[in-house]
Chains A and B, each alone.
Chain A
Amino acid sequence: MRNPPLLALIITGFAVSAAAPYLYRLLKARFVWFGAAFPLTLFTVFMLRYPQVASGVPVRERWSWVPSLGLDLSFVLDGLSLTFVMLVTLIGAAVFLYASVYLRHYEEADRFFGFIGMFMTSMLGVVLADNMLLLFLFWELTSISSFLLIGFNHHVPSSRASALKALLVTGAGGLALLAGMLLLGNVTGSFELSSLYAMNDLIISHRLYPAIVALILVGAFTKSAQFPFHFWLPDAMAAPSPVSAYLHSATMVKAGIYLIARFNHEIGGTVLWQDTILVAGATTMIFAGLLSYRQNDLKRLLAYSTLSVLGTLVMLLGIGSKLAIKAFFIYLIAHSLYKGTLFLVAGTLDHETGTRDVGKLGGLFRAMPVTAVTAALASFSMMGVIPLIGFIGKETLYKAVLDVQPWGMLLIVLAVASSAFLVVVTLLVGFRPFLGKPRPELQKVHEAPIAMLVGPFILAISGLLLGLFPDFFVGRLLEESAVSILSQRLGIEIELWHGFNLVLLLSFVTLLAGVGLYLLRPFVLSRMEPLHLPGLVKPSIWYEEALAGMLRFATWLTSALQNGDLRRYLAVIILSALIPASLMLFSSGGFSVTLPADLSVTPYEVALALIIVLATALLLTSDSRLKAIVSMGVLGFGVGMIFIIYGAPDVALTTFAIETLNVILFVLVLAHLPKFTSRSRTTGRIRDGLIAASAGIFMTLTVLQVTSTALSSRLKEYFASASLPDGHGRNVVNVILVDFRAFDTLGEITVLAIAAIGVFALLKLRTGKTD
C-alpha cells in the first residue's frame, strides 16, 4: 500500500478536528474510544514511514501554493520531525482518552476536542513544514489553540486573563519570528529550510545576521517560555489538566526548542547563536528551579519544573557538542513522557479529591493504587533513578556539561542544583499525596475510572521500557535527528549503565541534595514568608505595566479622536489630508507660484467673479434662511455663466436646471427648517476660518501649479475625431455621456434612483409613531 501524503494527513487532521465536537455530542460516552483512535491512527500511519526515515532518507513532499510569495506546501519528515511526531501523537492518544472522561461534566466539552484536535494537527504541521512561512502558519495556529484551551473555563476572569497573556507573549514572539524568517528569506532567496541547509556561510557572514538571530530566538524563547518570557507558562495552568499535560509540558512549549534545533544547522555555529542560547537556557534552568521551591499547587509545581527542564534543553542546544545533542534528545523524550504523566496524575488527584494543594493531600495509596504506581514510575524517571529513561537523560546531561570549556564547573553546579529542585518537586507531587497516614477528610476518595488510568500508565511504562532498551527504541531516531541538527551522525550508543564514575556520583549527590531540600522546605518557607521580591525584577510586572499602559494610551487616543464630536472628526480629516499634501507640494523642488501667461480679463468676467464673491460673502454672513437660499441660487447661476463663456453649454444648462431645483427644494422644506442661529464662539470661528482659508489657498495654488504646464490629452483628440464616425453625434460631450462612457451614466442614474428612494423613505415612512 502506498503511504498517504503528509499533506493529506494534515488536512484529514483538521477535518476530523472540525467534526470532533459533533461526534462528541452524537457518541456521548462512547466518544472515549473514538477520541483515542484518532491520534493512534495518525501515529500508526506515521510509523509506516519509520523504516525509510531510519535508513537515512527523509520523506520530502512539495505542492505549489502561493508561488509569488515563496509559500509552498512543502513538508519534510526526517529523524527530528519523526521524534516530535511520535511524541505528539502518542501523548495525544493518552490525553484524548483521559480528557473524554475528565471533561464529562463540563458543559462545553464538545468544543474542547475540536480545539485540542486543531492543536495536535497544527503541532504536526510545525514539525513537518519545510517552508518557513508554512511553519509560521502552523506555529500561529498552535498559539491560537493554546489561547482557546487556556481560556477554556472562560467564565473565570483569571482564566481569560491567563489566556490573553499567553496569546500576547507568544503572539508577539510569533511576529518577531516572522520578521526573522522574512529577513532570512531575503538574504538567501529561499524560504525552504532544506535549501538553506548548505547556506550557513552565506547567512552568518551577512550583515543582517545578528538581527535574524535575535528575531528568531525571540520567537523560540517566547514559545518555550525562556527567561524573561517565562511568566505566561505558570499562569497557563488555568487550563484543564489534560491541556497542561499536552500543550504546556509535553509538546507545544517544545516547539521553540524544535525551532532552535531545526535552525541550528542553517544559522547556528557562531558564538552569538551558541552563547545566547546557552545563557538563556542556563538562566531559565536555575531561576525556574528556585521559583518552584515555594509553590504549593500541584500544577504550578509541575509548571516551574517544566520551565527548568525547558531551560536545560535550550542550554544543551547551546553547548552544541555531540554529547550535548545526545543528552538533548534523550532528555526531551524522557521529559515529555514523565511530565505528561505527572500532569495527568495531578489532574486525577484534582478530579477525585477536589484540591491541588500539596499540603492537603496525603495517604491516598490505598484508595488510588494504580495512580500511585503510575506517579511513582514517572517520578523516578524525573528524579533520574536507574533504570528509567530519566536516569540516562541526566547522566548524559551531566557528561555533556562537564565537557564544556571554560564554564563547565559553573554549569555543572547549576545543573545539579536545578536537578535537585526537580527532585523536590517530584517528592511533593509524585509521592507525598500517596504516602503517610490516610486523612479523614479524604476518606471517600476512590480510584479514577479506567480511561483516565490507561493513558498515564502507558506513558509511565514507556519511560521504563525506553530506559531498559534505549538503543532498540530510539537509537536510529537519535542518529537521524543529529543529522538534522548537526549534519553528522553521532556514532554514540545509548546505554543505561556507564559504570561507577564521577557522573554517577553526581546523580547521587543530586538525589541527596533533593531530599535534603525537601526536608528543609517547611523551615525555609517559614523564613521566606515575610520576604517579597521587588516588582522591578519580575518580568510579569513589566508585562502588566506594558499592557495597562497600552490600554490607557488606546483609551486616550480614542477619546481624543473618536469622541462623538462630528466637527472635530471633519477637522481632523481635513487637516490630515491638507498637511501632508501641502508638504509634498511645497517641499518638492522648491515651490514657486507660476501665474498664468495670459492675465487678460474682460469686464464681464470681472463682473461675474464679483457677483460670485458677493453672493458667497452674503451667504456666509446671512442670518436669514431665505437670504442664504437666494444667495446660493445666484451663486449657482454665476457658475453656470462661467461654463457658458468657456465653451460648455451643456454643463451650463444642467447647472441652471439643478440650481433651480435646489432652490425649489429648499424653499419647500423651508417651513420646517429651524432659524439660523449663531452658536459657535468667536475662537471656534477663527479656528475653523483658519482651517478653511488654508484649504482654500492650497486649492488655489494647486490649480495654478497644475495649469502652469501645458496639457497634452490624447483623450481630447480621440473623442474629437471619433465622436462623429463612431458615436454618430456632433455634440461631443453628449456622445461621451451616452456612448463612450454609457456605463458611467447608467451608474449615475442608479445613484439618483437610490437617492430618490432614500428621499421618499425619509419623507413618507414612519415607524413606531402615528401622526
Chain B
Amino acid sequence: MTLLLALITGLFYAAGIYLILRRSLVKVIFGIMFLGHAANMLIFSTGRLTKGAPAFVPEGAQALAEPFADPLPQALILTAIVIGFGLQAFAIVLFRRSFEELGTDDVDAMRTTDRIEGGDA
C-alpha cells in the first residue's frame, strides 16, 4: 500500500499544480485544495504506515506497545487540515468578492499592477 499511497501523493501534487496554473480562479481554488490533500498524504506516508493500530493507550496499560501508528504525523496533519480549511474558506470568499468587484475570474485579466515602464509586458 505504500506504493499506492506514493502514487496517490504524486497524483494529488500533479493535479494541484496543473489546476493552480489555470486561468479560471475556481480551478485555482480546487488546485489549492488538492495541494492541501497532497501535503497531508506526504506527511502521512513519509511518517510510515501502520495498519489498524491507532495510538490509543489501552485500559490498564501505562504506555503503548508496538505496533502502533506514529501519533506525531497525525497531530501535524490535524493542524494542517484545519489551517488548510481556513485558507480555502478565505480563498473561496476572496474569489467571490473579486469576481463581484472586477467582473472577471480570469487570472490573465488581473495583471495590471505589475507592469513596468519600458517592459514588453
Contact = CB atoms under 8 A, between A and B. Distances in A.
A703 B6 contact: yes
A571 B41 CA distance: 23
B46 A759 contact: no
Contacts of B54: 647-649
Given A620-B19, A699-B9, A699-B13, A562 B114 contact: yes
B23 A680 contact: yes
A558 interface: yes
Contact of B96 (A570, A636, A650, A673): A673
A666 B40 CA distance: 21
A736 B4 contact: no
A407 interface: no
Contacts of B87: 755
Contacts of B121: 559, 563-565
B32 to A, nearest CB: 11
B107 A566 contact: yes
Given A719-B72, A731-B55, A732-B55, A703 B21 contact: no
Nearest to A653: B78
Interface stretch (A70-78, A426-434, A579-587, A595-603): A595-603
Given A595-B3, A716-B72, A707 B94 contact: no
A721 B10 CA distance: 34
Contact of B99 (A600, A672, A707, A763): A672
B37 A648 contact: no
A567 B14 contact: no
B21 A571 contact: yes
Contacts of A672: 96, 99-100
A743 to B, nearest CB: 11
A711 B69 CA distance: 12
Given A646-B44, A692-B14, A720-B63, A679 B106 contact: yes
Interface stretch (A328-336, A488-496, A744-752): A744-752
Interface string B66-108: 0011111011011101111111111011101101100001111
Contact of A736 (B71, B82, B115): B71
A556 to B, nearest CB: 8
B108 A567 contact: yes
A616 interface: yes
A699 to B, nearest CB: 4
Contacts of B71: 716, 719-720, 723, 732-733, 736
A703 to B, nearest CB: 4
Contacts of A609: 4, 7-8
Contact of B33 (A632, A677, A730): A632
Contacts of A665: 88-89, 92
A679 B21 CA distance: 12
Contacts of B120: 559, 563
B10 to A, nearest CB: 3
Contacts of A745: 79
A555 to B, nearest CB: 5
Contacts of A354: none
A574 B18 CA distance: 11
Given A564-B115, A707-B46, A762-B93, A658 B85 contact: yes
A758 B57 CA distance: 40
Interface in A585-622: 595-596, 598-601, 605-606, 609, 612-613, 616, 619-620
A713 interface: yes
Interface string B43-64: 0111111111111111101111
A223 B76 CA distance: 57
Interface in A708-742: 711, 713, 715-716, 719-721, 723-725, 730-733, 736-737, 741
Interface stretch (A118-126, A384-392, A637-645): A637-645
A687 B18 CA distance: 10
A69 interface: no
A558 B20 contact: no
A56 B86 CA distance: 74
A706 B82 CA distance: 26
A647 to B, nearest CB: 3
A359 B56 CA distance: 99
A707 B14 contact: no
A609 B56 CA distance: 27
A639 B50 CA distance: 16
Contacts of B42: 699, 703
Contacts of A669: 92-93, 96
A724 B96 CA distance: 47
A186 to B, nearest CB: 41
Contact of B116 (A555, A565, A596, A756): A555
B22 A680 contact: yes
Interface string A683-709: 000001101110111111101101100
A221 to B, nearest CB: 34
A600 B52 CA distance: 15
B83 A751 contact: yes
B41 to A, nearest CB: 7
B99 A662 contact: no
A693 B78 contact: no
A61 B81 CA distance: 61
Question: B70, B108, B115: which has the most chain A beta carbons within 10 Å?
Answer: B70
B90 to A, nearest CB: 5
A724 B63 contact: yes
Interface string B9-38: 111111111111111101100100110011
A674 B22 CA distance: 15
Contacts of A559: 116, 118-121
B9 to A, nearest CB: 5
A351 interface: no
B10 A759 contact: no
A645 B51 contact: yes
A62 interface: no
A676 B108 CA distance: 15
Contacts of B82: 654, 658, 748, 752
Given A730-B57, A736-B71, A673 B99 contact: yes
A645 to B, nearest CB: 6
A704 B6 CA distance: 7
Contact of B46 (A605, A643, A662, A706): A706
B74 A563 contact: no
B45 A703 contact: yes
A566 B113 CA distance: 11
A655 interface: yes
Interface string A524-553: 000000000000000000000000000000
A679 to B, nearest CB: 4
A639 B114 contact: no
B23 A688 contact: no
Contacts of B79: 737, 744-745, 748
Question: A700, A713, A752: which has the most chain B beta carbons within 10 Å?
Answer: A700
A574 B2 contact: no
Contacts of B45: 703, 707
12 contacts: A564-B121, A605-B1, A616-B34, A648-B74, A692-B14, A696-B17, A721-B62, A748-B82, A752-B86, A762-B93, A762-B94, A762-B97
Given A676-B26, A692-B16, A706-B46, 9 more contacts: A563-B111, A605-B1, A636-B37, A654-B81, A696-B10, A704-B6, A707-B45, A720-B63, A752-B82
Interface of A: 555, 558-559, 562-567, 570-571, 574, 595-596, 598-601, 605-606, 609, 612-613, 616, 619-620, 625, 628, 632, 635-636, 639, 642-643, 645-651, 654-655, 658, 661-662, 665-666, 669, 672-674, 676-677, 679-680, 688-689, 691-693, 695-701, 703-704, 706-707, 711, 713, 715-716, 719-721, 723-725, 730-733, 736-737, 741, 744-745, 748, 751-752, 754-756, 758-759, 762-763
